[in-house]
Structure 1
Amino acid sequence: MSDSPMERFSDWMNPILVKETRQALKSRSFVATFMLLLIASWLICMFGVAMAGMSLEYGTPSREFFQAFFFVLSAAVIVIVPFGAFRSLLTEQDSQTYELLSITSLTPRQIVLGKLSNSVVQILVYYSAIAPFIAFTSLLQGFDLFGTIVLLLVLLGVSILLCTFTLMLSTVGQNRQIQTLSSLFIVGGLVMAFSSMMGLSFAMLQGEITAEPEFFAVLICFLLIGISYFFLFLQITISQLMYESGNKSTGVRLVATAQMLLVWAVTAGYAWFVGTSIDDDVFYTIVFLTLVHWGIFGFFITMERDYLSRRIRRDLPQRGILRLLLVPFMPGGTRGLILVLMNLLILMGIMLGIQPFVTRIDPEFLQVSFAIVAYMVIYMCMGSMISRRLLKISNELKPMHARTLLIIIFAISSIMPHMILSAMDYYDNYNPPYSLLQITDPISTINAIGNGSYSGGAVGILMVAAIVAIILNVPAMIRSVMEILAPDRPQPKSLEAPASEIATAAT
């Protein structure tokens, strides 16, 4: 007998999805959450009808009912499901069952997608449980179909993105103490996301957000940004589960670079499509987010271990031009530094080239942006140099130690000038001006440049220091490029012994 279509479909599905879904649907946490969602929705329905009275016919009670049902659904899919996704992969590592998965034919991508798909299934189950109550709300006066559809779709997307983010965080920390601390931060972050979603729903239902072209433009922009970060979190999670000899960097770096280009392309495309200039506040926000993006990302990729495994060197493309294009995206802290420098240079070029299409740009903003870029270059070049020296001392030292040392240097550089100025009684004066001794403190320097209280050559000094930092890393960058352009490819061992060895053995 041939298998039924459902059995064939079950065999085709991701085995991790099947296993996780069976376990999750039988777990006490899922059953308790599902029952609490149903009981809470039923109580809202009963008590809401009793308290509404005659307003059910003459008022607009559907907004209050939907707000209550949306509150219950958001608590389940924004707080409980993402935290369950975080704990699912963490439990595999704590109980040492992940090793059993890693020795199977399943790839890290299949494992991560299976875990994520299980979370999506749970979200859809909660949606199906709340659907009858939403249908009841649609029968009441004042039901907003457009707002309801938008809120439910946004909630679905945010929940999936949070599940991907928590899965990524579950692979970062291997230490018990770090896992416990990260659990507390994750719970706090999920509660904040829940509060933000409730604020959005309240504004939507109160008519503060209307279906105007600007709303759809902002919605599309956030959708594209969310999709890009979804792929970034997914790629980081997959890379963390790879073997040490695998290429963990290329996919992540490609996605991170595509994100920046996508954001600027969407901004320019929207301005061209609408036929207006780019608003200065939008321009400032995108520049700030881009700097934060590369600041966080560069902090990690510039201090990786400069090492190419035999597998990575074996899989390099044969054409030299392709290898040259792949240099910034290949593993290694020095190559990561090249990627960050390239993207910061592209960002500065975009900022200068897009000025005619922006309504207004303050000169202080450009100076602040260039100062931030200079500080990023200085500290990332310093971090790359520290990691190269430190990781050669012992294999026991990890990139985490180099990052910790860089944070300590940053803290000392920020505090030391204030201690020196305090010893000189500099702060005894009323409203003391900015001093060049504070140039090692990024916060004080950027604040002084931004509010216009200092018009000296701080930006020029920082640019010169950034150029010097780059020059000090040029020899290492050349070596890292040549390691890709002229790799030492592993040669397969011949099964036949050389003739000289055969003759020696015969004698």
Structure 2
Amino acid sequence: MNEMLSIDPASVTPATNANRWERFDAWCERKGDQLNPILVKETRQALKSRQFVVTFSVLLFASLGWTVAGSLSQMPQIYTTPSAARLMIGYYVVLAIPMLLVVPLAAYRSLEGEIDDGTLELLSITALSPWQIVLGKLASASLQMMMYFVALFPCMAYAYTLRGVDLPTTLIIIATLLVAGLVLTVIALFLAPLAQSRTGRIATLLMLMMILLIAEYSIGFFVINLITYGNSLSASWVFFLSASTILLSLSVSHLLLTATAAQLTPESENRSTQLRISMMVLSMLLVGIAWYSANALEGSVGVFLITSLALAVLWTVFGSMLAAESPVMTPRIRRELPQSFFARVMLTWLTPGPATGLVFATVNIVVLTATMLFGLVLYASQMGNVRPLEIQAFIRISMLFVSYLVGALIAVRLVVAVVRINNHPRVEVGMAAMVTVLVMSALVPYSIGLHLNDYRGYSYSRWQIANWVWTLAEAGPNGSVRTFEVGMVLGCVSIAFIVCLLTMPRIVMPRRIATPEQVEAEQAKAAHPLKLAP
């Protein structure tokens, strides 16, 4: 009886291992179901697509061919002298083409295909949010990049063992490829739903191709020079540039992804608040970079000026689109408005609308300009090699720039309001209106003065105060614009801004409306669904 009941352990092991693998497979299946459905769908389609199979096969054959050809071309010196540079350049080229060109184009075509085929409308009626759709596309593209990188990683490790390229340089190359690939993919996703007509989509595709080719050439030039000549920067500058690049990439990517999700969101929902918050974060990051470079690095005046110029361009573009938003606020948005007095004072400017957008842009422009001016004065006092006249000139230029920009935003809001009488323009029209306002405000006063002077050259006068180009040029240390002219421009713009706010109090400070009982019941039902009995 004991012999009949005895069980051989060797016979149990395969069944036990099979059960373990089955449990592991079931666990993977459960976790896979919890992932983003768009990620699962896109990954399955991408890995089975002809584009991925061809690209991955070409990458493998190219890496193998370059390994053999590059190694043989350096024989027999490869055994005695550092020989990694040539191989590393070839591996970079092999890896950069799919990561910086193929994957962003595939992501662009994937989202554009959803729009062309009408499947995006079907996804919009499901429980998936626009953010899930966009992040699913990005995650699928990131997975493809990771597979390309993993396939070529042994080759780069082989090149590193040949000496000639140190480990920090190799890590910088890898990080540059990964960050650039992700940012370019985000740009591709942002451009995909931007145009609605066929002509516009062709234009956005050509724009994307131009961006990708410029990025491919620029990053390749940087990497090849880094491999060939090495890194000549100090450790502090390397840390600053690396941290700034990563933080800016994250912030810009979040802003573009937010804009992409906003384009996929129905017009009845709030599409502006997250964009405004993301823009504020990006602005604070640029200010932090400027302040850190001015206080911790030597010779960082260029960084300060570049960040100042970037902030000026960003808020000129973003402010023009805010001023061109639709004044219509749906009941769904009004039900989500802040209710208390303090919340209304602090958070109303994040709600959609041209009036709140104008106030939001104006406040941010003034605060950012004051912060940068304070940093400049502090930096000049520490360095001691900046003349007081130059500081005064920079203050005048900054105050004039803020005044002219706010005045242009007010004009853009009025122009778009006139256009909206018989049309329904998109917010991108605000950029065209901004360009028109800036060109006309500089061209008309100069043309009038030229006509009054019989088309002969003439010097600057206060009659050209509306000509922002000439006035800013004359605000320098040797110019004729002084405090009085700055006060004139600032006073006129301030009066126009106050009048603009007083004439539309309901639009500037919209009030919250009560939520209907039926809507509350539906929201409660969606938040606490009933569990069906098995």
TM-score by length of 1: 0.88
CA contact (8 A) 2:474 2:480 kept: yes
SS at match of 1:183: helix
State the match for 1:492 in structure 2. 517
State the match for 1:297 in structure 2. 318
Select the residue among 469, 472, 481 that pairs with 1:446.
472
Select the residue among 387, 397, 404 that pairs with 1:375.
404
Q: 1:13 to 1:202 in 2, by over 3 A?
A: same
C-alpha displacement at 1:317, in angstroms?
A: 3.7
1:342 equivalenced with 2:363 (yes/no): yes
CA contact (8 A) 1:245 1:312 kept: yes
CA contact (8 A) 1:335 1:477 kept: no
State the match for 1:475 in structure 2. 502
State the match for 1:499 in structure 2. none
Partners of 2:364 and 2:261 lie apart in 1 by 24
Deviates more, 1:288-297 or 1:55-64: 55-64
State the match for 2:180 in structure 1. 158
Partners of 1:309 and 1:303 lie apart in 2 by 17
C-alpha displacement at 1:349, in angstroms?
A: 2.1
Partners of 1:494 and 1:351 lie apart in 2 by 47
1:356 equivalenced with 2:381 (yes/no): no
Partners of 1:472 and 1:289 lie apart in 2 by 30
Report the residue type matching 2:47 in the other structure: L
C-alpha displacement at 1:463, in angstroms?
A: 2.1
C-alpha displacement at 1:403, in angstroms?
A: 4.9
CA contact (8 A) 2:471 2:481 kept: no
Name stretches of at least 5 consecutive residues in structure 2 with no aligned partner. 1-21, 521-534
Deviations 1:6-46 (A, max 9, x none): 21122121111111111112222222222222233223222
Deviations 1:483-504 (A, max 9, x none): 1xx3333543799xxxxxxxxx
Report the residue type matching 1:34 in the other structure: F
State the match for 2:238 in structure 1. 215
State the match for 1:197 in structure 2. 219
Deviations 1:337-365 (A, max 9, x none): 11111111112321343212343464333
SS at match of 2:517: coil
Partners of 1:283 and 1:452 lie apart in 2 by 23
Deviations 1:88-139 (A, max 9, x none): 1111111111111111111111111101101101111110121121122122
SS at match of 2:147: helix
1:133 equivalenced with 2:158 (yes/no): no
Partners of 2:253 and 2:332 lie apart in 1 by 28
State the match for 2:439 in structure 1. 411
Deviates more, 1:343-352 or 1:179-188: 343-352
CA contact (8 A) 2:441 2:466 kept: yes
1:254 equivalenced with 2:282 (yes/no): no
1:319 equivalenced with 2:340 (yes/no): yes
Greater CA radius of gyration, 1 or 2? 2
CA contact (8 A) 1:225 1:259 kept: yes
SS at match of 1:93: helix
Partners of 2:32 and 2:478 lie apart in 1 by 65
Counterpart mapping for 1:8-19 below 5 A: 8-19=30-41
SS at match of 1:172: coil
Partners of 1:278 and 1:451 lie apart in 2 by 23
Partners of 1:400 and 1:416 lie apart in 2 by 25
Deviations 1:131-158 (A, max 9, x none): 1211221221313111111220122112
Partners of 2:115 and 2:370 lie apart in 1 by 45
Partners of 2:340 and 2:453 lie apart in 1 by 63
C-alpha displacement at 1:380, in angstroms?
A: 0.4
Partners of 1:403 and 1:147 lie apart in 2 by 41
C-alpha displacement at 1:68, in angstroms?
A: 1.5
CA contact (8 A) 1:390 1:402 kept: no
Select the residue among 109, 112, 116 that pairs with 1:94.
116
1:309 equivalenced with 2:316 (yes/no): no
CA contact (8 A) 2:322 2:357 kept: yes
Partners of 1:437 and 1:185 lie apart in 2 by 41
Q: 1:321 to 1:75 in 2, by over 3 A?
A: same
C-alpha displacement at 1:477, in angstroms?
A: 5.6
1:464 equivalenced with 2:491 (yes/no): yes
CA contact (8 A) 1:434 1:453 kept: no
State the match for 1:366 in structure 2. 395
Report the residue type matching 1:323 in the other structure: R
Q: 1:442 to 1:81 in 2, by over 3 A?
A: farther
State the match for 2:259 in structure 1. 236
SS at match of 1:171: coil
State the match for 2:524 in structure 1. none
C-alpha displacement at 1:427, in angstroms?
A: 6.2
Report the residue type matching 1:201 in the other structure: V
